[in-house]
Amino acid sequence: MLESIQNDRAFCLVLHDIAPATWGQYADFVAEVDRLGPIPLTLLVVPDYHRQGALDRCRPLVEVLQRRLEQGDELVLHGCYHEDPGPIPPNPKAWLMRRVYTREGELYAIGEAQARERLERGMNLFKRLGWPLRGFVPPAWLLGPGARKALRGSPFAYTSDPGHLILLPEFAAIPAPTLVWSARSPWRRLLSRQWNEHLLRRNAEAPLLRLGVHPVDLRHASARRFWLETLERILTQRVPVTKSAWLGLD
């Protein structure tokens, strides 16, 4: 599979946390992206985001995603609930990872059996809807030992972390840096712009660059403007692809 990876410089526009509860934040942004040209999106789909409603019960969104799929986008499973409400063990690392770094790391602390059950729920959703499924991205890019074992035994072709695409079942990591914002406060947004501009310069020659957009980004004019301006710039330098296309899985 490694031989199938393309040599041309490319980029993936990846929209995280796709669900009925978040699509309203994305709809106008996606329309603006479409006006820039044919840019295939990699859409990270959450079956029941924060347990706010099953995706397959929202026919309007199902129909939107079906159309996106037919025009060349990729749908990727992104957890099951995208939340980590469990109790925190009394150690500093767990508190740091599960409450400071994120509260979304669904697959960080659960065991193999529970992780497998959630993977199967997501796979069954895609099967019911007739959607092809090659990739899995864990919420917050966090995989605990149990989830890692469950994923190794799954039919998924790849997963990812912030710096890599990872081929399964071997967990062979391929460098693929990601631009991502932390948009929760003004100082985070300011640092995010500066850091991402640095990453663009540092990774100018990287074969694949990922732009990781989250719903919260689009609530803030500075983040939204950054993503659209970066897209316009990067389209003159790189070819837009989905993750599966770049890996030669399509």
Going from N- to C-terminal start, the domains of the chain cover: 2-246
The reply to whether omega before 169 is within 30° of 0 (cis) is: yes
What residues are paired with 11 via a beta bridge?
Answer: 209, 240
Residue 38 is predicted with a pLDDT of: 94
Q: What percent of the chain has pLDDT over 90?
A: 78
pTM: 0.92
pLDDT exceeds cutoff 70 at 119 = yes
* Cα–Cα distance, 193 to 97 (Å, whole number): 24
Class of the 2-246 domain?
Answer: alpha beta
Average pLDDT over residues 101-110: 75
What residues are paired with 42 via a beta bridge?
Answer: 14, 74
Residue 89 is predicted with a pLDDT of: 66
